[in-house]
Protein backbone atom coordinates (compact mmCIF):
# COMPACT_ATOMS: atom_id res chain seq x y z
CA UNK A 1 0.00 0.00 0.00
CA UNK A 2 2.07 2.87 -1.26
CA UNK A 3 -0.68 5.37 -2.05
CA UNK A 4 -1.87 8.15 0.24
CA UNK A 5 -4.09 7.01 3.11
CA UNK A 6 -7.01 9.10 1.90
CA UNK A 7 -6.92 7.22 -1.43
CA UNK A 8 -7.30 3.71 0.03
CA UNK A 9 -10.48 2.14 1.38
CA UNK A 10 -11.32 2.18 5.11
CA UNK A 11 -10.83 -1.59 5.25
CA UNK A 12 -7.37 -1.25 3.68
CA UNK A 13 -6.47 1.48 6.16
CA UNK A 14 -7.67 -0.73 9.04
CA UNK A 15 -5.62 -3.62 7.70
CA UNK A 16 -2.52 -1.45 7.47
CA UNK A 17 -3.06 -0.12 11.00
CA UNK A 18 -3.38 -3.69 12.29
CA UNK A 19 -0.16 -4.69 10.51
CA UNK A 20 1.70 -1.71 11.96
CA UNK A 21 0.39 -2.40 15.44
CA UNK A 22 1.70 -5.97 15.24
CA UNK A 23 5.03 -4.58 14.07
CA UNK A 24 5.07 -2.08 16.94
CA UNK A 25 4.32 -4.80 19.49
CA UNK A 26 7.16 -6.95 18.21
CA UNK A 27 9.45 -3.93 18.43
CA UNK A 28 8.40 -3.29 22.04
CA UNK A 29 9.30 -6.86 22.96
CA UNK A 30 12.63 -6.63 21.17
CA UNK A 31 13.77 -3.18 22.32
CA UNK A 32 12.27 -3.14 25.81
CA UNK A 33 10.67 0.28 25.40
CA UNK A 34 7.56 1.92 24.04
CA UNK A 35 7.48 2.61 20.29
CA UNK A 36 7.03 6.15 19.02
CA UNK A 37 5.67 7.02 15.59
CA UNK A 38 9.17 7.94 14.46
CA UNK A 39 10.51 4.57 15.60
CA UNK A 40 7.59 2.79 13.93
CA UNK A 41 8.25 4.57 10.65
CA UNK A 42 11.83 3.34 10.78
CA UNK A 43 10.74 -0.15 11.76
CA UNK A 44 8.18 -0.33 8.95
CA UNK A 45 10.39 1.49 6.42
CA UNK A 46 7.58 3.92 5.73
CA UNK A 47 7.56 7.73 5.56
CA UNK A 48 6.80 9.35 8.89
CA UNK A 49 3.93 11.20 7.17
CA UNK A 50 2.20 7.92 6.44
CA UNK A 51 2.47 6.78 10.04
CA UNK A 52 1.08 10.15 11.16
CA UNK A 53 -1.85 9.80 8.76
CA UNK A 54 -2.72 6.41 10.23
CA UNK A 55 -1.99 7.39 13.85
CA UNK A 56 -2.44 11.18 14.17
CA UNK A 57 -0.96 11.26 17.69
CA UNK A 58 1.33 9.20 19.91
CA UNK A 59 -1.65 8.41 22.12
CA UNK A 60 -3.58 7.02 19.15
CA UNK A 61 -0.73 4.66 18.35
CA UNK A 62 -0.52 3.56 21.98
CA UNK A 63 -4.30 3.12 22.20
CA UNK A 64 -4.21 0.94 19.08
CA UNK A 65 -1.56 -1.23 20.76
CA UNK A 66 -3.68 -1.41 23.92
CA UNK A 67 -6.73 -2.41 21.92
CA UNK A 68 -4.80 -5.27 20.36
CA UNK A 69 -3.40 -6.34 23.73
CA UNK A 70 -6.79 -6.40 25.48
CA UNK A 71 -8.95 -7.73 22.63
CA UNK A 72 -8.65 -11.41 23.66
CA UNK A 73 -9.50 -10.60 27.28
CA UNK A 74 -12.59 -8.65 26.23
CA UNK A 75 -13.75 -11.56 24.08
CA UNK A 76 -13.27 -13.95 27.02
CA UNK A 77 -15.28 -11.74 29.38
CA UNK A 78 -18.11 -11.27 26.90
CA UNK A 79 -18.32 -15.01 26.28
CA UNK A 80 -18.36 -15.80 30.00
CA UNK A 81 -21.10 -13.28 30.78
CA UNK A 82 -23.28 -14.46 27.88
CA UNK A 83 -22.79 -18.20 28.52
CA UNK A 84 -25.45 -20.46 30.02
CA UNK A 85 -23.04 -22.04 32.50
CA UNK A 86 -23.96 -22.25 36.21
CA UNK A 87 -23.03 -18.98 37.89
CA UNK A 88 -20.07 -20.36 39.87
CA UNK A 89 -18.61 -21.80 36.70
CA UNK A 90 -19.19 -18.49 34.91
CA UNK A 91 -17.15 -16.71 37.56
CA UNK A 92 -14.37 -19.27 37.27
CA UNK A 93 -14.27 -19.05 33.47
CA UNK A 94 -14.37 -15.24 33.65
CA UNK A 95 -11.16 -15.15 35.69
CA UNK A 96 -9.41 -18.43 34.82
CA UNK A 97 -9.42 -18.08 31.05
CA UNK A 98 -7.89 -14.59 31.26
CA UNK A 99 -5.35 -15.77 33.81
CA UNK A 100 -4.25 -18.70 31.63
CA UNK A 101 -3.86 -16.44 28.62
CA UNK A 102 -1.79 -13.89 30.54
CA UNK A 103 0.33 -16.64 32.08
CA UNK A 104 1.03 -18.02 28.62
CA UNK A 105 2.07 -14.56 27.40
CA UNK A 106 4.27 -14.12 30.46
CA UNK A 107 5.96 -17.49 30.03
CA UNK A 108 6.51 -16.90 26.32
CA UNK A 109 8.56 -13.76 27.01
CA UNK A 110 8.84 -12.60 30.65
CA UNK A 111 11.02 -9.61 29.71
CA UNK A 112 8.55 -8.32 27.13
CA UNK A 113 5.67 -8.88 29.56
CA UNK A 114 7.49 -6.78 32.15
CA UNK A 115 7.98 -4.01 29.59
CA UNK A 116 4.25 -3.92 28.87
CA UNK A 117 3.54 -3.70 32.61
CA UNK A 118 5.94 -0.77 32.93
CA UNK A 119 4.47 1.02 29.90
CA UNK A 120 0.94 0.42 31.20
CA UNK A 121 1.90 1.94 34.54
CA UNK A 122 3.26 5.02 32.80
CA UNK A 123 0.09 5.30 30.69
CA UNK A 124 -2.42 4.38 33.37
CA UNK A 125 -5.05 6.84 32.14
CA UNK A 126 -5.09 5.06 28.77
CA UNK A 127 -5.37 1.69 30.51
CA UNK A 128 -8.09 2.75 32.94
CA UNK A 129 -10.87 2.33 30.39
CA UNK A 130 -10.08 -1.38 30.11
CA UNK A 131 -10.03 -1.75 33.90
CA UNK A 132 -13.45 -0.08 34.04
CA UNK A 133 -14.72 -2.36 31.28
CA UNK A 134 -13.65 -5.45 33.23
CA UNK A 135 -15.49 -4.05 36.27
CA UNK A 136 -18.58 -3.53 34.11
CA UNK A 137 -18.62 -7.17 33.01
CA UNK A 138 -17.93 -8.39 36.54
CA UNK A 139 -20.82 -6.26 37.80
CA UNK A 140 -23.07 -8.04 35.32
CA UNK A 141 -21.96 -11.38 36.72
CA UNK A 142 -22.52 -10.17 40.29
CA UNK A 143 -26.07 -9.14 39.38
CA UNK A 144 -26.66 -12.61 37.91
CA UNK A 145 -25.28 -14.23 41.06
CA UNK A 146 -27.51 -12.11 43.28
CA UNK A 147 -30.54 -13.23 41.29
CA UNK A 148 -29.56 -16.77 42.35
CA UNK A 149 -29.35 -15.70 46.00
CA UNK A 150 -25.60 -15.15 46.41
CA UNK A 151 -23.80 -12.17 48.00
CA UNK A 152 -26.83 -11.39 50.16
CA UNK A 153 -27.17 -7.84 51.39
CA UNK A 154 -24.25 -6.47 49.39
CA UNK A 155 -24.60 -3.66 46.89
CA UNK A 156 -23.03 -4.40 43.54
CA UNK A 157 -20.23 -1.86 44.05
CA UNK A 158 -19.38 -3.31 47.47
CA UNK A 159 -19.38 -6.86 46.11
CA UNK A 160 -17.29 -5.71 43.14
CA UNK A 161 -14.64 -4.19 45.40
CA UNK A 162 -14.47 -7.24 47.67
CA UNK A 163 -14.28 -9.74 44.81
CA UNK A 164 -11.61 -7.73 42.99
CA UNK A 165 -9.49 -7.78 46.14
CA UNK A 166 -9.99 -11.52 46.59
CA UNK A 167 -8.88 -12.40 43.04
CA UNK A 168 -6.31 -9.63 42.56
CA UNK A 169 -3.42 -12.09 42.22
CA UNK A 170 -5.11 -13.60 39.17
CA UNK A 171 -5.96 -10.33 37.41
CA UNK A 172 -2.96 -8.10 38.13
CA UNK A 173 -0.12 -8.42 35.60
CA UNK A 174 2.28 -7.19 38.28
CA UNK A 175 1.46 -10.19 40.47
CA UNK A 176 2.27 -12.41 37.50
CA UNK A 177 5.77 -10.92 37.57
CA UNK A 178 6.17 -11.52 41.30
CA UNK A 179 4.50 -14.84 42.17
CA UNK A 180 3.59 -16.54 38.87
CA UNK A 181 4.95 -19.87 40.07
CA UNK A 182 2.51 -19.83 43.02
CA UNK A 183 -0.60 -19.15 40.97
CA UNK A 184 -2.70 -22.10 39.80
CA UNK A 185 -6.16 -22.89 38.48
CA UNK A 186 -7.12 -25.07 41.46
CA UNK A 187 -6.27 -22.25 43.86
CA UNK A 188 -8.40 -19.85 41.85
CA UNK A 189 -11.27 -22.36 41.87
CA UNK A 190 -10.99 -22.59 45.67
CA UNK A 191 -11.14 -18.79 45.92
CA UNK A 192 -14.26 -18.69 43.73
CA UNK A 193 -15.96 -21.41 45.80
CA UNK A 194 -15.03 -19.59 49.00
CA UNK A 195 -16.50 -16.27 47.91
CA UNK A 196 -19.72 -17.99 46.81
CA UNK A 197 -19.96 -19.93 50.07
CA UNK A 198 -19.29 -16.99 52.35
CA UNK A 199 -19.46 -13.54 50.78
CA UNK A 200 -22.41 -11.60 52.17
CA UNK A 201 -23.08 -8.44 54.13
CA UNK A 202 -23.79 -10.11 57.48
CA UNK A 203 -21.16 -9.48 60.17
CA UNK A 204 -19.94 -12.78 61.60
CA UNK A 205 -17.42 -11.82 64.27
CA UNK A 206 -14.24 -10.76 62.49
CA UNK A 207 -14.92 -7.02 62.59
CA UNK A 208 -13.82 -5.46 65.91
CA UNK A 209 -16.48 -3.82 68.08
CA UNK A 210 -14.15 -1.18 69.52
CA UNK A 211 -10.70 -1.58 68.03
CA UNK A 212 -7.93 -4.02 67.28
CA UNK A 213 -6.48 -5.95 70.20
CA UNK A 214 -3.82 -8.52 70.86
CA UNK A 215 -5.18 -11.81 72.22
Residues 187 and 81 in one domain: yes
Residues 89 and 40 in one domain: no
Give residue 204's pLDDT.
79
Mean pLDDT of 46-61: 94
Residues 100 and 12 in one domain: no
Q: Are 58 and 36 contacting, i.e. CB atoms less than 8 angstroms apart?
A: yes
Whether the full predicted model's pTM is greater than 0.95, yes or no, is no
Q: What is the CATH number of the domain that holds 162?
A: 1.10.357.10
* pLDDT exceeds cutoff 70 at 212: no
Mean pLDDT of 126-145: 96
- In a domain? residue 171: yes
Q: Are 81 and 90 contacting, i.e. CB atoms less than 8 angstroms apart?
A: yes
Q: Are 78 and 88 contacting, i.e. CB atoms less than 8 angstroms apart?
A: no
Give the residue numbers spanning the domain of 47: 5-56
Q: What's the structural domain count of the chain?
A: 2
Nearest-CA neighbor of 51 among 21, 81, 76?
21
* pLDDT exceeds cutoff 80 at 121: yes
Give residue 123's pLDDT.
87
Residues 93 and 193 in one domain: yes
Nearest-CA neighbor of 92 among 196, 162, 173?
196
Give residue 209's pLDDT.
65
Of the pLDDT bands very low, low, confident and very high (cuts 50, 70, 90), residue 215 is low
Mean pLDDT of 72-101: 97
* pLDDT exceeds cutoff 80 at 7: no
Give residue 13's pLDDT.
86
**Residue 45: alpha-carbon gap to chain centroid:** 31
- In a domain? residue 159: yes
Question: What Å distances lie between residue 31 and 36, 46, 191, CA to CA?
Answer: 12, 19, 38
Q: Are 183 and 99 contacting, i.e. CB atoms less than 8 angstroms apart?
A: yes
Q: Secondary structure of 40-88 in the HEC alphabet?
A: HHHHHCCCHHHHHHHCCCHHHHHHHHHHHHHHHHHHHHHHHHHCCCCHH
* pLDDT exceeds cutoff 80 at 120: yes
Nearest-CA neighbor of 139 among 155, 168, 160?
160
- In a domain? residue 125: yes
Amino acid sequence: MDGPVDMISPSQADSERARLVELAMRAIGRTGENVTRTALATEARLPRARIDALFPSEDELFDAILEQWYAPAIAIMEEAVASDLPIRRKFYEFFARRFLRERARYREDPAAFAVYCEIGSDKIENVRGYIDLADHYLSELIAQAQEDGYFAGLGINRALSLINQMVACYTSPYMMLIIEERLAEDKLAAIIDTLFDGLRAEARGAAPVVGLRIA
